Every structure is written in structure tokens, then in C-alpha cells.
Amino acid sequence: MSRVELLSPEGLRIDGRRPAELRKITSTTAVLSQADGSAYLEHGNTKVLAAVYGPREARHRALVLHDRAIINVEFNVAPFSTGERRRRTKNDKRLLEMASFVKQTFEPVVVTTLYARSQIDIYLQIIQHDGGTLQACINAATMALIDAGIAMTDYVCACTAGWVEREAAIDLNHIEESSDTSEVTVAMLPKSGKITLMQMESRLHVDKLEEVLSLAGEGCKQMHVVMDKTIRDRAEDLAAKMAV
Amino acid sequence: MLRQKAFVKKTKSGKVLKVVKEHYLRDDIWCSAEACKECGHTETVLSATPSINKLFPLPHYIIPDTNIFMNQIDVMEKPQITNVIVLQTVLEEVKHLSLPIYKRVRDMISNKEKHFYVFSNEHHRETFIEKLKDESPNDRNDRAIRVATKWYANHIKDLKPQVSVVMMTDDAANRSKGTADGLQAVSVKWYIEALDNTELLDMISDSRELDDGQQLIYSEHLTPAHLSNGIKTGKFHQGKLGISSHNYLEGSVFTKIDGIEGTILIVGRENLNRAVDGDIIAVELLPKSEWRTTPTGVVVDEEEEKEEEESLKAEQKAASEHKEDVTMTDATKTATTTSALLDTPQPCGKVVGIIRRNWRQYCGFIDRKSVHTPAGSSAPINVLFYAMDSKIPKIKIRTRQAHSLLGQRIIVSIDSWPKTSKFPIGHFIRSLGEAGDKSTETEVLLLEHDVPFHEFSKQVLSFLPVEGENWVVQPEHFNGREDFRDLPVCSIDPPGCTDIDDALHVVALPNGNYQVGVHIADVTHFVKPGNVMDAEAASRGTTVYLVDKRIDMLPGLLGTNLCSLRSNVERLAFSCIWELNQDAEIVKVRFTKSVIASKASLTYEEAQNRIDDERMQDDITQGIRTLNTLAKKLKQKRLDMGALTLASPEVRFSLERDTQDPVDVEMKELKETNALVEEFMLLANISVARKIFEKFPDSAMLRCHPTPPASSFEKLEKAVARMGITIDHSTSKTLSESLDNAVLPEEPYFNKLLRIMTTRCMMQAVYFCSGAKIEQEFRHYGLATDIYTHFTSPIRRYSDVMVHRQLHAAIDSDISYGNELTDKESMNELCNVLNHRNRMAQQAARSSVELFTHLFFKNKVQEEEGYVIRILKNAFIVLVPKYGIEGIVYASAKAHKTTAAVDATATTAVATTTPAAGQPILVYNPETDSLQSTEPLAEGESPKIQIQLFQKVMVQISIDDDLKGGGEGGMRQKLKMDLLKPWVEGISVHGICNKDDPEAHAVTSSLHAADKSNSLKRETEAPATPKRADKRSKA
């Protein structure tokens, strides 16, 4: 049992949220001019920068697929992203695993057949870490891909949910994550409700799974609203500029 | 909803870390006042019409500060205090300072009748405040409380009916700042005084008032920083203080001295320096010149003559509790005594600081001598309180109801112990009732042993099956269960047993083997992990059996009905099915959930009669006979493996039907059928232990019985060596053999006695989590098995509930289970809790027996045969097998002051040379571990009187109630044992005679004296039987 009271009997979490509330989300796209598409996203204190290059010619001929594009994801955590400075090697298994999760998430959504024999690179950089990195990465990547103008069947919205003490709660922060909470990350296509990724590393009682999943689904829908607004604002902005 | 962020810096374990936390401030935290329409709350906690206090014109809500909860929690818990707003700031501070108090506050909050509302002011947009520059955290919190109070005052000022808020704080500065802000502020004392309730007034803890002494009695405690530094450098030693049960001015700390584990003795008031039993303290060693050789010196305090008498009394109390410290403490005690024998001084120390107090609430009584006002006066006076636990010093309390509390058992808690006060200062909490009254005393013993005995809450009961009594096995229950309803299952239990958790069956198989089944009540079908009922059961840990009642672990509906495997009803069970061959060897074993219908619930006696009665030839009886033969084979095998047969003097009381007063005492009898059930339960437990260990190698709940250390046998070995008997305790097998061989033809009880004493040398069996020990340490010494657990009594033990869950998970891969079964840490914690609860339950049961023994001996004087089972420095302990009781007999004259006073004439008539009070008549001789008379001895001559272990003596048993109604003896109600035979001048008393008639007494006693001098010779000769004399000369 953790000693920290994650959810007060009054129903408030340590940072003052209620179980079904997301953190404050801010997002912008096209933050980097070099990249074909980019996005910056904050989930509370978790901050991610995503850059998309491509579709472009594949680096290694051997990897080229003749009928579709390959997606390459690189994931990195800045040494200064946590309170304690920690440098990670490039081949850190956890980083590679995270990258492969993101890759798996997007492979069915990006219409890769449009970009045969090419490669799409997604670079993800965690700038500040406060829990929920995977969801933040997926959301940032979605926006960067849209910014890059790559064809996708739908948005991919991700959200974590976990079982905090006696209730399901979404968008766990670092303290909640690190006190032995079971946590599920769900990435969803909000229009169809299809799930492209569901990832959980800890044990969760099967009776509670349903509740946690439905809450995560709710979270994904809320994410969609926020992301969609940013994209539309950006598009309107661009349209306004083009009209001039 | 507005969101803002606050940044907090925090340091962790030496490293300075910047922790950034988000902090969302909200607009949707409601005031919860019933009359408020503005807030969006649906359910309100604070009532529209709170109580009125004379001090304030309006009905009001109270907003207390942290210290009110910390110091006056007992007052706050009273039903008079309602409609309180608990601020989050306050709650968090309380939690940080003391978890137990936090728990109590939480309990109050969940109690609907108290109307306690938690206002999350730190998350509220208007009440959250940033810490100002140069503002201490305390000041910030005080300001936060004022801001919140102010917010409330503004928020509810227009409500109809009118209400106000009152800030309650004992901090005058905070009060004045509050009043300056236009708030109503009050101290607890003013508030309670205006309520006109003496009981409540008594409960206010106000240390300043009681602290009368101006001169310093104790030296200052060092600061925490100083202490932790000293501990790091090895100058101080940290440990938990254990006060000797003989003497409350003597304690010891088990700690590491220069890397070697050892005990530091702390003797005397100054050295103890306000430490109370159980506190975690820092000790500084005294210079070697001040080390002492004996751990059991009697402390004399020149300021107070009572002191000595008291410490003796304390000893008296301790003696009867000796049987409680059977294992561990005994081991250490023997160790200390042996070191004393070797004349090496024990390290002594003094307390330099207290790291953590471990104060709790104490049951006890007010000392009559300390009440000086005339009867009926209700002026507040300071009185002294004696705790029932003799390890606790007297506590000074202030009360207005001293006279009505005299002769009652009350609960008191300690508030503080300033260095100017000789005694700790406390306050009255509540009265339990008349001393000596059975229900009061039972409550006392439950409280003292920390046994939760409150009724099951509604919440707990809500998890019972909705069908209640009418619950029956439904077709869907057969899913995943085998149908054993046709098997000839029966249960065998003690008479009057209503919580039947085990049943048995046997069926002969065509191949000549037997199918034997043990069916255990399927408690886990009803108690699901994690729900409130489960949590309650886990915290209770075990059912506590007292002489006249039972404190259940599970609600009665489950324990005595739905789970109980009663005859002729269908019940759910967890079955363990073996195939045993003719030699009772296991061919196959399997476990399954099942449905059974027991054919008969028998008592041990009924089962025995069925076995013996040859006319009975029905299935059940045949089955019991088969089981009996198998059980005998199993037992033989177990004994061959080296299982121990130990003994303890257990008694049973026959109670009068209506009053439940004890009318007779008898030793518990064991029948063959007891052993029958026991054998199969052991077999089941062992089989289950193997299974769950296989499935959960890291987290299985097992039970082990450690091998006792050699040192714990030292004394016993020496004593029996004198009788030409050796005890080989290297393995349980050799021990069991040497116990079997230790028979004295002239003393039939000797073997039993030896077994009783061997039992006391043992370690206590404990639950543990398999991941916490290496496999070699799993051994159960007493049962001589390499692995063991508890599976067979889930109705009354929580450990068995856990084992059931683990076993279920082990046999059925489809079921889902949470990490409660796999988490090593939490399992370990649970084991510790259960071990503590078990120990407490055992002690409570013993105390209950003791209580009934006292009731039984009330107004009775009995003469009985007893055996010396332990020799102390200035006393010896006698066990009377007939009643299974133990008592202390003193070797110095002082202890018999009361008797001596009554016998004054008699004594002068008989002996003119009564030794001066306090002077020992019998002296401890460490060489022979005996007490002997002090006359000068010639070379080789043995002393005239010698008291040795195992010696048979005659004692007179009575209840020491000479001082009834006020004195300590009467209030503590101790069993008194006086020596009759052998006759020792100044110690022994005379047989039953009329003490009120000195003349008659003088005559009888002189007669006795003549008589006794003869018997004395007999007695002194008796031990020197030729065999033993030989042994001694050889030595």
C-alpha cells in the first residue's frame, strides 16, 4: 500500500483534480520550420515536441517496401526532463519499446499505401516529464502528422487511465503513476471508436478493467476535441493568411 | 473552472530535488451548509441548525485548528461536539503529525451524526493562499485557517436560519489575529466551560494547570537533530523501551552496542527520564563503573516510602502475568540471569531523548490516597491514576468527579510529561464501570490487549448475502464445485461449538485404499477481497475466545450459520481429498471447491462414544472408526519424525447459567477424538502449504515455528540435571525422546510439569510470507514438518482466509485475483498484523481465564498442592495444577506486611525473631538456582530450607482484597498465594483459620509451628533421595 493518499475521501486527487478530469492541455502545431510537420503538446507538466519528416526517400534501400511507406519512430527523453538529471543511452530498451508502441499505433492509421517506397520519420522528444509520456507522444505525433499533411484515416487520440485507490481516474500524473497504480494507455480513433493501441504493464483486476477502459475512452474523446480545435484554428489561420 | 499552478520545492533523503507539482484550484468545492442555496452541493453534512453555546449568540459551525485535534481529540469525539468544519490544511497537518489521531478524525468525519465536514480549502480558489516571504509554514497554515474561516463567515452570513462560524484555537496569538479580522475565536476551554459539562471539562487536556513543580526533576531531552547525530556516530543507541513487568522503574532496550546485539539496562527514574514502555528512545551508555550485575534490584525512592511497597506489588502483578511472556521474553530473561550469574556487569544506560512516543490510552483506576477533598465535592483536583498495566507509571490527571470515579475503571491518556513533573500528565477519557464487575473487567482486558470488540458496522454488514438467514445453496453455486452431498461427511467439535469450520469423511476405495476428505467452510465465497467486510476481518485477524464470550472476526450470520458446516444442510466447502493407503501414506491429494451436506455434527464425547459403542454400525460410526485408526497411524508417524507433545495447564470453567459466574474449574480433558480431528487438520494444513508454496513461491502465507535457542533451555536443564534427567534439545526428535524418558515414578505429575515448562522455553509460532525467509527456516519445530500453514479455520482466523484464496488461485487458473495474493510487501505486513493480533488474542484469553479464576476464588480460601516452576531473586512462582493457576510467593518478610499485621499477636507468640521487614529470609543461590535459608553453613552441609525448581509445596490461595475499594491491591485484584508447606518462618502462613480472632489464631499457629517444624524436616529430606544425592556428589 502506498503511503501517499492519492485520492482524498472528498474525491479530490493530489493536484486538485477529480478522477475524471484531464490536466490542462495546450498544443500548437508547426513549431519547427525545418520539419515537414511538427507539434508541441503539454499535458499539464508533461511536455512533448514532435517532428515529422517525410514522406521522403528511405534511408536504407533494404528496408524499402514497394507498396507502401515505412514509418520510423525515434523517441527520446531529455536529460533535464525530470527533477533528477539523468542521461539515457540511445539504445535504452525502454526508449526503443516506447518508439515501437508509437510505430504500431500509427501503422494502421496512416494511409501508407499512398506513399509507396518512401519513409515517414517521427521524432519525439520529451522535454519535461510528469507522467503519461506515451499518451502525450501519440497525441503530439498525430498533430505533427496532420501538420505534415500525411494522409490518415482519423485522428489518433490517446489517454491513460488507472485505478487510483478505489476509483478509476484518467490522465495520471507522475506521483500517481509512480505509486504502484495500474495504468492503461488507450489510443483510439475517435470517429469509429476503434482502438489502435492498448498498453498496460501492471496488474489490474479484471472486474475493474471495464470501468478503467471506458473512462480512458472518454478521455480520448475529450483529447480529440482539444486537438481538433488546435488543428482547425491553425488551418483557419493559414487560410486567412492565404487569402491575403 | 479556473486552473492555476503552484510550484513547490521539496527535498528527499538528503538530495535536494525540485519537485514541480500542478495544483488546480477549483470553484466547485461547496460549503455543505444545509441552508446554503448558492452552492451546487447535492448532499449536505452541516446541519442548518447547529448547536448553540452560551458564548455566542448564533448557532454556529466550529472550525478547529490542528492543535485542537492533536491535543483535544478525546473531547472532539464526544457527541456534544457536532457541526465541525475540518479544513484540509488541518487534516493534512494532523495526518503528518500523528496517523492514529488522523484515523480517529476520519472516523468522526464518516460518522453522520457528528456532522463533520471536510472543506478542501487548499483546492478552493478563494481560500488557497501562497506562502508569503519569511512566513513559517505554521504561520501560513494558521493564516490559511483564518482565511477559510473568513470565507465561511462571508459565505454563510445571509443564510436563513442564521448561522455563524467560530474558529477554535488554543493559540492566543492566532485568536487575537482572528478577532482583528472580525472573526469569532475561542479556546477549547472557554467553549467547554460554557457547555457546563463536568465530564467534558475533565477531558480537556491542559498540561500547564497540572504542572505544579517548579524545580527540574528530569534532565532535558536532546533535540532530534542532536539525537540522530549521536546515533549515527554511535554515541547513543536507539531502541524500543521495554519496561520490566516486575518493576516500572527498570527497563531495557534491545539494541546493537558496537555492532553486537545486546540489552542495555535502564534503572531508576532519572535514568529512564520520562520514557514510557514502548517508546522509541535514544540511550547513552553509563560509565562501566555504574554498570550493574543484577537485573532485578528493587528500587527504593527516599521521597516516597510507598514506592518500595509498590514495586513489590508491581512484582506481584507481574508474577501472574508470567505465563504470558512465555517465549521470547523468557529467553532473554534467562539470558540476562545467566549473565548475572557469571557476574559480568550488564551495560546500563540513561535515556537522553525520545525519538517517538508510543502512548496509547490506558485503563486503570484512581488512587484513593490521592483524593483529598471531602466526598461530594466537585472542585477540580489533581489525582494520581494507576494503569492496569504495571509497566506504566502513575499518571497525574485533573478531575472534577474524583469521588464518583473512585472504585471505577477509567480510561486515561497521557498528554505530556514535562521535565518539572514527576509523573506524566494526562486527562480522563471515560469511565468503564465498577471495578471487579465482570463486564467492566472484560472490557478492560479487551482494551488492554488491543482487541477490537465493537459491533460490526452497517457498512460491514451490507456485504452479507441479501438473503440473510434464508440463504441456501443455489444451482449456480455448483459451477466449478464438486457435488459431495452424498458423502458421509460429519463434523467433530467441542460441545457448544457453533462455528463449525471443518468436517471429515472417509470412503473405502475398491483398491483397498481410503479416500479421506477434509472439508473446510468456504468463507472466501462470502468474503471477497478488498471489501469492507474483508478489511474488517483482516484488521481483527482472529476470533478471540474469552471464558464467557467470543469476539467474532466475521459477522455472526456467516460464522455461525452460512459458513458453519452444520449437519443436514447444504453448505459450500473447500475440500482437500486424499487417497491414503492402509499405512496412512498419501497416495494422491487434490483440492476442490465443493458442496457438502454434513450428516452429523458430533461433540468429541459423542464421537468417542460411537467409537466405543459396538452396537453402532452405521456409515458415520464406521467412518469415524476408520478415521481413528488412520489418525493413530498418522500420529505415530509424526511422533517418529520428532513432533513434540507439549502441555499447558488449561482449565475450563463451569459457568452458572444466568449470571455467568464461575461455579467450578476443571482441567481440559483430551479425548482420542480430539487427536483424530487434529491429525487430519495437520495433514490438510501441510498438504495445502506445499500447494500454495508451489504456486506462490514469493508470497505464500505460511506458518513456522523456529527452533528455540539453546540458551532458553539452560535453566531447565540445570534443574532437571539435579534429578538425574537430561534434556537433549538439539532437535525436536531428541527433545521429544528425552521428554518421554523423563519420568519420576514417585511423582506422576512430573512429566506433565516438565512438558509445561518445556513449552515455555519454546519460541512462538508465527505467520510469515514465504518470500521473506529462506526455505530452511520454514520448519515447524513443534510439529516436525518442513512446511506448514493454517487452512482449516477460516471462520476464526484471517490467515486461513488468505490461504484459501491462494489455494483457490493455485487450483483454478481461470479465476482472477488482485495483487493482494502476490505482493510480498503487503503479505509481510499482513503477517505482522496477524501475529500481533494472535498474540494479543492469546493473552486476552489468558487474562480472561485469570479474571474468572479471581471471581472463582472471591471469598474463598483454598489449600492446594503446587509445584515450584520458577525461582526469582526474592520470590518463587508456584503452579497449582488443579486450577492451572500460578502465583508468586515472596522470600522476604516485607511482602507479607498485611498478613504480618493481622498475625501480629500470633507472630510474637510463636517467633520472637521475626526478621526485619524487607530483609530476605530466603536468599537466592545462583549456583543451585534455588532459594535457601540464611543460617551459617558448615562445609558440605546443605541449608535447612531450600526451595528448588519442581519442588512440591502446599499453598493457600486467596484473593488479595484486603485493601478493597481504594488500595492498589484491591483494585488490581491479585490472586495471592501463601506458602503453607514447607514452613518458613516469616514467609509461610497458617492454614485456614479465623484471622479476626487473634487468640484462636495464636493457639492454632503455635500448634502449626510445632507441626510444621516436623514437616519441614520431612520436606528438606525429601529432595535428597539417594539417586539425586549421588548425582550431586558426582558433580
Q: Give the distance from residue B73's alpha carbon to the nearest chain A alpha carbon, in angstroms.
A: 20
Q: How far apart are CA A52 and CA A35, in angstroms?
A: 6
Q: List the single residue in B20, B23, B826 with the smallest CB-CB distance to A16.
A: B23
Would you state the cell numbers that stand for residue B300, as one nine-digit string?
527504593
Across B487-496, B742-751, B820-829, B966-975, least confident range: B966-975
- How far are the Cα atoms of A53, B377, B464, B984 from residue A238, in angstroms, in the given order? 20, 91, 64, 112
**A contacts of B819 (beta carbons < 8 Å):** 203
B186 and B295 inside one domain: no
Task: Report chain A's mean pLDDT, rounded to a whole number.
Answer: 91
Q: How far apart are CA B88 and CA B110, in angstroms?
A: 15
Residue B722 above 90 pLDDT?
Answer: no
Task: Report chain B's mean pLDDT, rounded to a whole number.
Answer: 78
Would you state the cell numbers that stand for residue B925, as one nine-digit string?
543461590
- Residues A36-44 have a mean pLDDT of 94
Specify the pLDDT at position B1022: 31
**B contacts of A17 (beta carbons < 8 Å):** 24
Residue B753 above 90 pLDDT?
Answer: no
Q: Rounded to the nearest 5°, which phi and psi values hold at A127? A: -95, -40
Q: Rounded to the nearest 5°, which phi and psi values hold at B545? A: -100, 115
Q: What is the DSSP letter of B423?
A: S
Residue B971 above 90 pLDDT?
Answer: no
Q: Is B962 or B480 the better-scoring residue by pLDDT? A: B480
Specify the pLDDT at position B1005: 35
Nearest residue to B993 (alpha-carbon basis) of B948, B958, B945:
B958
Q: What is the DSSP letter of B928?
A: T
State pLDDT tens for residues B557-612. Answer: 888 888 999 888 999 999 999 999 998 899 999 999 999 999 999 888 888 888 88
For B829, other C-beta atoms within 10 Å of its C-beta total: 13
Nearest residue to B366 (alpha-carbon basis) of B484, B176, B202, B515:
B202
Q: Is A58 or A145 the better-scoring residue by pLDDT? A: A145
Q: Which amino acid is at A172?
A: L
Nearest residue to A23 (alpha-carbon basis) of A160, A154, A196:
A160
B832 and B870 inside one domain: no
Q: Is B3 on the interface with A (CB under 8 A)?
A: yes
Per-residue pLDDT band for B906 (boundaries 50, 70, 90) equals: very low
Q: List the single residue in B17, B88, B110 with the smallest CB-CB distance to A83.
A: B17
Helix, strand or coil, per DSSP, at residue B984: coil
Q: How far apart are CA B480 and CA B815, in angstroms?
A: 10
Which residue out of B10, B23, B24, B830 would a mutagenesis test of the A interface target, given it has the greatest number of A Cβ atoms within 10 Å?
Answer: B24
State pLDDT tens for residues B886-896. Answer: 777 776 654 44
Q: Give the distance from residue B437's alpha carbon to the nearest chain A alpha carbon, in angstroms.
A: 41
Residue B502 β-bridge partners: B520
Q: Which residues lie closer than 8 Å to B694 by C-beta, 6 or more apart? A: B810
- How far are the Cα atoms of B647, B724, B742 from residue B748, in angstroms, in the given order? 15, 16, 11
Q: Which residue of A has its CA nearest to B1?
A: A17
Q: How far apart are CA B136 and CA A2, in angstroms?
A: 29
Q: Rounded to the nearest 5°, which phi and psi values hold at B933? A: -70, 160
Which residue out of B123, B528, B821 would a mutagenesis test of the A interface target, given it has the greatest number of A Cβ atoms within 10 Å?
Answer: B123
State pLDDT tens for residues B422-475. Answer: 888 888 888 888 887 888 888 888 888 888 888 888 888 888 888 888 888 888
Q: List the single residue in B19, B24, B829 with the smallest CB-CB distance to A16.
A: B24
SS3 letters across B520-582? EECHHHCCCCCCHHHHHHHHHCECEECCCCEECCCCHHHHHHHCCCCECCEEEEEEEEEEECC
B293 and B330 inside one domain: yes
Residue B278 above 50 pLDDT?
Answer: yes
State pLDDT tens for residues B241-269. Answer: 888 776 778 888 888 777 777 788 888 88
Specify the pLDDT at position B897: 40
Q: Is A12 on the interface with B (CB under 8 A)?
A: yes
Nearest residue to B641 (alpha-carbon basis) of B786, B794, B521, B757:
B786
Q: How far apart are CA B5 and CA B239, in angstroms?
A: 43
State pLDDT tens for residues A214-224. Answer: 999 999 999 99
- Residues B801-822 have a mean pLDDT of 86
Rama region for B95: left / alpha / beta (φ>0; ψ in -120 to 50; rest)? alpha
Residue finishing a domain among B391, B418, B434: B434
Specify the pLDDT at position B858: 77
Q: Give the distance from residue A150's alpha carbon to the nearest chain B alpha carbon, in angstroms.
A: 35
Q: How far apart are CA B61 and CA B44, in angstroms?
A: 13
Q: Which amino acid is at B600?
A: A
- Whether the Cβ atoms of residue B62 and residue B74 lie closer than 8 Å to each other: no
Specify the pLDDT at position B914: 42
- Whether the Cβ atoms of residue B243 and residue B298 lie closer than 8 Å to each other: no
Q: How far apart are CA B526 and CA B630, in angstroms?
A: 33
- Residues B340-368 have a mean pLDDT of 79
- On the CB side of B821, CA atoms within 13 Å amount to 24
State pLDDT tens for residues B659-713. Answer: 667 777 776 666 778 888 889 999 999 999 999 999 999 889 999 998 888 777 8
User: Cell 490472586 sits at which residue?
Assistant: B975
Give the CA radius of gyration of chain B: 32
Q: How far apart are CA B786 and CA B776, in angstroms?
A: 8
User: For domain A25-243, which architecture applies?
Assistant: 2-Layer Sandwich (3.30)
Q: How far apart are CA B411 and CA B359, in angstroms?
A: 13
- Whether the Cβ atoms of residue B116 and residue B148 lie closer than 8 Å to each other: no
**B contacts of A24 (beta carbons < 8 Å):** 3, 22, 24
Specify the pLDDT at position B431: 87
Q: For chain B, how many structural domains are there in total?
A: 4
Helix, strand or coil, per DSSP, at residue B819: coil
B886 and B939 inside one domain: yes
B826 and B949 inside one domain: no
Residue B802 above 90 pLDDT?
Answer: yes
Q: Give the distance from residue A15's alpha carbon to the nearest chain B alpha carbon, in angstroms.
A: 5
Residue B41 above 70 pLDDT?
Answer: yes
Per-residue pLDDT band for B310 (boundaries 50, 70, 90) equals: very low
**What are the start-end ranges of the E strands in B84-235?**
84-87, 116-119, 164-168, 184-186
Q: What is the maximum span of chain B, computed from C-alpha positions, in angstroms? A: 100
Would you state the cell numbers that stand for residue B641, as one nine-digit string?
519424525
Q: Is residue B439 part of a domain?
A: no
B108 and B137 inside one domain: yes
Per-residue pLDDT band for B942 (boundaries 50, 70, 90) equals: low
For A139, other C-beta atoms within 10 Å of its C-beta total: 29
- Residues B10-38 have a mean pLDDT of 77
- Whether the Cβ atoms of residue A110 and residue A151 lie closer than 8 Å to each other: yes
Instruction: State which residues form the domain around B292.
Output: 224-434
Q: How far apart are CA B645 and CA B678, in angstroms?
A: 13
Q: Is A201 on the interface with B (CB under 8 A)?
A: no
Residue B915 above 50 pLDDT?
Answer: no
Q: A1–B826: do the CB atoms touch at under 8 Å?
A: yes
- Whether the Cβ atoms of residue B794 and residue B524 lie closer than 8 Å to each other: yes
B42 and B71 inside one domain: yes
Q: Is B15 on the interface with A (CB under 8 A)?
A: yes
Q: Which residue of A has its CA nearest to B817?
A: A205
Q: How far is CA B397 from the centre of its chain?
A: 25
Q: How far is CA B49 from the centre of its chain?
A: 44
Specify the pLDDT at position B999: 38
Q: A130–B22: do the CB atoms touch at under 8 Å?
A: yes
Q: Is B804 or B777 the better-scoring residue by pLDDT? A: B804
B154 and B228 inside one domain: no
Q: Is residue B570 part of a domain?
A: yes
Nearest residue to B285 (alpha-carbon basis) of B329, B346, B343:
B346
The b/e string for B166-185 (b: 16+ C-beta within 10 A; e otherwise) is bbbbbbeebbebbeeeebbb
- How far are the Cα atoms of B36, B39, B116, B122, B406 from residue B44, in angstroms, in the given order? 9, 10, 10, 20, 43
Q: A16–B25: do the CB atoms touch at under 8 Å?
A: yes
Chain pair A-B, CB pairs under 8 angstroms = 55
Q: Is A44 on the interface with B (CB under 8 A)?
A: yes
User: Cell 455566542 sits at which residue?
Assistant: B56
Q: Is A67 on the interface with B (CB under 8 A)?
A: no
State pLDDT tens for residues B497-510. Answer: 888 889 999 999 99
- Whether the Cβ atoms of residue B307 and residue B393 lie closer than 8 Å to each other: no
Q: Is B112 on the interface with A (CB under 8 A)?
A: no
Per-residue pLDDT band for B511 (boundaries 50, 70, 90) equals: very high
CATH number at residue B86: 3.40.50.1010
Q: How far apart are CA B954 and CA B482, in angstroms?
A: 60
Across B151-155, B205-209, B703-707, least confident range: B205-209
B155 and B287 inside one domain: no
B965 and B835 inside one domain: no
- Residues B38-55 have a mean pLDDT of 82
Q: Rounded to the nearest 5°, which phi and psi values hold at A223? A: -60, -40
Q: How far apart are CA B85 and CA B468, in angstroms?
A: 38
CATH number at residue B375: 2.40.50.690
B989 and B930 inside one domain: yes
Q: Is A3 on the interface with B (CB under 8 A)?
A: no
- Residues B84-91 have a mean pLDDT of 92
State pLDDT tens for residues B1002-1030. Answer: 333 333 333 333 333 333 333 333 333 33
Across A37-46, A48-57, B133-142, B941-950, least confident range: B941-950
Q: Is residue B1027 part of a domain?
A: yes
Q: Give the distance from residue B362's alpha carbon to the nearest chain A alpha carbon, in angstroms.
A: 28
Tell me which H or E stretch contains B286.
none
Q: Which residue of B has its CA nearest to A1?
A: B826
Q: Which amino acid is at B403?
A: H
Q: A12–B19: do the CB atoms touch at under 8 Å?
A: no
Specify the pLDDT at position B593: 93
Residue A168 β-bridge partners: A163
- Residues B751-763 have a mean pLDDT of 83
Q: Rounded to the nearest 5°, which phi and psi values hold at B279? A: -70, 150
B911 and B815 inside one domain: no
**B contacts of A44 (beta carbons < 8 Å):** 22
- Whether the upstream peptide bond of residue B529 has omega within 30° of 0, thus cis, is no
Highest mean pLDDT among A116-125, B29-38, B636-645, B820-829: A116-125
Q: Is B369 on the interface with A (CB under 8 A)?
A: no
Q: A16–B822: do the CB atoms touch at under 8 Å?
A: no
- Whether the Cβ atoms of residue A216 and residue A186 lie closer than 8 Å to each other: yes
- Whether the Cβ atoms of residue A184 and residue A161 lie closer than 8 Å to each other: yes
Q: Is B940 or B198 the better-scoring residue by pLDDT? A: B198
Specify the pLDDT at position B405: 84
Residue A199 above 80 pLDDT?
Answer: yes
- Whether the Cβ atoms of residue B154 and residue B165 lie closer than 8 Å to each other: no
- Whether the Cβ atoms of residue A159 and residue A133 lie closer than 8 Å to each other: no
Q: How far apart are CA B488 and CA B626, in angstroms?
A: 13
Across B39-43, B375-379, B860-864, B932-936, least confident range: B932-936
Q: Which residue of A has its CA nearest to B119?
A: A10
**What are the start-end ranges of the E strands in chain A?**
25-29, 37-43, 46-57, 70-77, 118-128, 157-164, 167-170, 182-189, 194-200
Q: Is A11 on the interface with B (CB under 8 A)?
A: no
ipTM surpassing 0.90: no
Q: Is A43 on the interface with B (CB under 8 A)?
A: no
Q: Is residue B715 part of a domain?
A: no
- Whether the Cβ atoms of residue B604 and residue B493 lie closer than 8 Å to each other: yes
Q: What is the DSSP letter of B920?
A: B
Would you state the cell numbers that stand for residue B199, as one nine-digit string?
465530564
Q: Strand pairing of B586-597 and B570-580? A: antiparallel
Nearest residue to A220 (alpha-carbon basis) of A148, A154, A167, A163:
A154
Q: Is residue B298 part of a domain?
A: yes
Residue A121 above 80 pLDDT?
Answer: yes
Q: A83–B819: do the CB atoms touch at under 8 Å?
A: no
Q: How far apart are CA B535 and CA B820, in angstroms?
A: 12
Q: What is the DSSP letter of B1012?
A: H
Specify the pLDDT at position B216: 72
Instruction: Report the interhelical angle of B88-97 vs B66-76 (nearest 10°).
Output: 80
Q: How far apart are CA B796 and CA B552, in angstroms?
A: 7
Q: Give the distance from residue A209's alpha carbon to the nearest chain B alpha carbon, in angstroms.
A: 12
